[in-house]
Structures are given as structure tokens and as C-alpha cells.
Amino acid sequence: MSEQGVRDAAVRARQAAVELAVASRAAKDAALHAMADALVSRRDEILAANESDVDGARAAGTGSAMLDRLALTASRIDGMADGLRQVAGLPDPVGEVVRGSTLRNGLELRQIRVPFGVVGIIYEGRPNVTADAAGLTLKSGNAVLLRGSSSARHSNAAIVAVLRDALTAAGLPADAIALLPGESRDEVTHLMHARGLVDVLIPRGGADLIRTVVEGSTVPVIETGVGNCHVYVDAAADVEMARDIIVNAKTQRPSVCNAAETLLVHADLADAALPVLLPALAAAGVTVHGDDTVAAQGKELNVPVEPAGERDWAQEYLSLDLAVAVVPSLDAALAHIRRYSSGHSEAIVTSSQAAARAFTARVDAAAVLVNASTRFTDGGEFGFGAEIGISTQKLHARGPMGLPELTSTKYVITGDGHIRG
């Protein structure tokens, strides 16, 4: 799509956003339910389009992790529909009074939530993001410009066609949801430079995509980050609990950003923990990349261990690979995490309240978990219905971004003929 084509789409989205900003909750919720029903009723159409994308990606030699992100199933489409229904059941953030007061001079001051206007979302692979993003932006009163990857262009086009038809049937403007075709990388550049037409950009994908958008956009960006997530097994940890948590955090869905990528084990527990953890990981199909201590233990247990280097500690594998190290102390674990963490999700397994307090106070991340899998850092798990992304920045939004994070605020000041002297 040409630069003018992108700008024309943004203009249409801006016109739709004017209508959405004042749409009632009832109208938006009815549209969300219509969108959910349409996804289910037209499931076969979406699956056929997705099969074309998956076949093309497989022929191009795409890895298993990316194929997993790309692939849709009947149950995943049902999940997309359920997510839209959950969003419909959430409170409408638009018009919420964040704070209010009566000033000394009698003026009434209210700060209220308002939509951004037009939200641009640039994302890779996962076509379920198309429905999640459309639902969250609609409920928060925003129009959305979606630019998915070329690998998912048939899937995204089918999903958006279904959603736009449902919007029209529900009496809301179809241009509240628009897809840039994904035919050229130039579309990303044009979207990044549509300042004045697009109010905010949200990139979702790998480090290269996010860096490109953050560094090259003239439109304000909310940065979502990669997930180099750690699980630290403290000296006071229950070993069986640690085993269950790390296996879940690594293997439940390894291709997503909240999957664990590094396991750190306190040296005082290593002799007891590694003989339990390493065989459990191997049985789950995980390739361990370990330091010298882990490698030696693996040899004794007849569990293969690849030697870990600097690249492994900094790696977001997105696969059944895990870096494992033994650390001498909680302080050493915290130092390792500070050096390599992407600021996404960090977990500690411990029965010590003091260790848990120290970890949660000193780790700098969007989510810090105690005795729980990193896989819980998710908008759906947090009760947000879905998420637009997981922000690892510190301005405006941090962590899973739900409806409130898709709004800004404005002040409404009400007087009775007040003038300033």
C-alpha cells in the first residue's frame, strides 16, 4: 500500500474514531458480541485462509515456534471469540473519573478517561492478535489500524473481513477496524510517519521490529518488549514446587514472551534440586544450556547439557531451550537478572518470606511472581479479557495492557461565570 493509501486509511479511521468516542457501552458491547458470534459462524473461512498461510510459512522453512504462533485451530478461534465476549463484560473505561475535586474558588475539576483516537498496531505472526486488538480498541473507544506480518496476511484479511461485517451489522462504522495488507515493509514506515493522523503506535513482535518502530517513528510509541524471563529457585524453595513451576513456565507454550528462558538455582539447594529439575526438563523435551556446575550434574544424571555462553543468558529462545545456572546467593541471582532481564516477568520460588520480599522489592520488571509460573503474566489471566501487549517501558503503561491503558485523560473544569483575576 502506498503512503497515500495508508494516510487515506488513517483518515477514515479518524472519522470512525469520532463516532466511537461517544458510542454507548451498550452499542460497543453489542458489537463485540456480534464480532464474537461472527468469528465462530465463519470459522471454516478463517481456518482455510490460515491453512494457506501456514503452508506458505512451512514451505519457506519457518521454525516450529513461529509456526505455532501463526497456526489457528477451531479451539483458538473459539478462544478469540471468548476473549471478545470477556471484553464486552468488562467496565467501560471511557468517561471514568480518575480524580475530581472542588477548588477553593468553587470550580469543579474532574479528570476523566478518554480514547486515544486512532491506534496503530504493528505485529508479527499471531493472527489471534487481530481479534484481541480489535476488541480492546473498540471497547476503549478507539479506531485501529492493524498491520500484521506478510506471513499471516490471508488469516488477518479473513478475520478483519469478518469483524468489519459484524460492526456494520451492529450499526458501528466498519472503518473502526482496518487492515493494512502487509504487502510491503513500506507500509510500516508510512504508518510510523502518520503523525497527526495516528495517535499512538504499539509494536508487538521481536526485538528488531520493536527497535525499528521505537527508533524510527514520529508517532508516539508504547513499547512492548521481548521476554527474557527468569525463574530463580531460592535456597528455601520446595523442590517439587520448583519442578512444576519451571516445567510449566518453559513448556506450556514456549513460543510466547512470558515463557521462561533462564533458570537460576541457589548453590545451597543445587545438589538436591538439579537431580529433580534436569530429568524433568529433559522428559518434557527441553534442551538445557548450562554452566559448568549444571553440565557436571547433567553428566552424572545422564541428562545432555549444552554448554552455555553469553548469548544463552541474553537469549529469548521462544523454543524448548532453557539456560540454567547455579548462583551462590540471592544477590547473585538479582545481579544476573539485572544484567540480562528484558524487564518482562521474573519469578522466585521460595518458602522464605524475607527472600520473597527482597526479590519483589529489588527486581525491576513489569511483573514479579512469587511461587507461580511466568506464564501468568497475561491480560486474560489478570482478568483484563485480553491484552493489547505487555509493556516493558515505564511511562503511561507497564505490564499487560488492558482497557484503561488504551485511554488518555482530559480535564473538565466547570464554573459559574468564573474569571481569573
Residues 341-350 have pLDDT tens digits of: 999 999 999 9
Instruction: Point out the least confidently predicted range of 299-303, 335-339, 384-388, 407-411.
Output: 384-388
Tell me: pLDDT of 30 over 90.
yes
Tell me: pLDDT of 268 over 80.
yes
pTM equals 0.84
Q: Print the SS3 string covering the chain.
A: CCHHHHHHHHHHHHHHHHHHHCCCHHHHHHHHHHHHHHHHHCHHHHHHHHHHHHHHHHHCCCCHHHHHHHCCCHHHHHHHHHHHHHHHCCCCCCCCEEEEEECCCCCEEEEEEEECCEEEEEECCCCHHHHHHHHHHHHCCCEEEEECCHHHHHHHHHHHHHHHHHHHHCCCCHHHEEECCCCCCHHHHHHHCCECCECEEEEECCHHHHHHHHHHCCCCECCECCCCEEEEECCCCCHHHHHHHHHHHHHCCCCCCCCEEEEEEEHHHHHHHHHHHHHHHHHCCCEEEECHHHHHHHHHHCCCEEECCHHHHCCCCCCCEEEEEEECCHHHHHHHHHHHCCCCEEEEECCCHHHHHHHHHHCCCCEEEECCCHHHCCCCCCCCCCCCCEECCCCCCCEECCCHHHEEEEEEEECCCCCCC
pLDDT tier for residue 185 given thresholds of 50, 70 and 90:
confident
Tell me: pLDDT of 386 over 80.
no
Tell me: pLDDT of 45 over 90.
yes
> Residue 125 has what pLDDT?
78
Average pLDDT over residues 4-17: 96
pLDDT tens for 83-120 read 899 999 999 999 999 999 999 999 999 999 999 999 99
pLDDT tier for residue 393 given thresholds of 50, 70 and 90:
confident
> Residue 380 has what pLDDT?
81
pLDDT tier for residue 226 given thresholds of 50, 70 and 90:
confident
pLDDT tier for residue 206 given thresholds of 50, 70 and 90:
confident
> Residue 1 has what pLDDT?
84
The rounded percent of the chain whose pLDDT value lies above 90 is: 84
Which domains can be identified in the chain, with CATH numbers? 3-224+401-414 (3.40.605.10), 229-376 (3.40.309.10)
Average pLDDT over residues 322-335: 98
Average pLDDT over residues 217-246: 94
> Residue 221 has what pLDDT?
93
> Residue 39 has what pLDDT?
98
pLDDT tier for residue 392 given thresholds of 50, 70 and 90:
confident
Tell me: pLDDT of 64 over 90.
no
pLDDT tier for residue 283 given thresholds of 50, 70 and 90:
very high
pLDDT tens for 395-415 read 888 998 889 999 999 999 999
> Residue 266 has what pLDDT?
98
pLDDT tier for residue 184 given thresholds of 50, 70 and 90:
confident
pLDDT tens for 233-266 read 999 999 999 999 999 999 999 988 999 999 999 9
Q: Please state, rounded to an integer, the average pLDDT across all residues of the chain.
A: 94
Average pLDDT over residues 316-335: 97
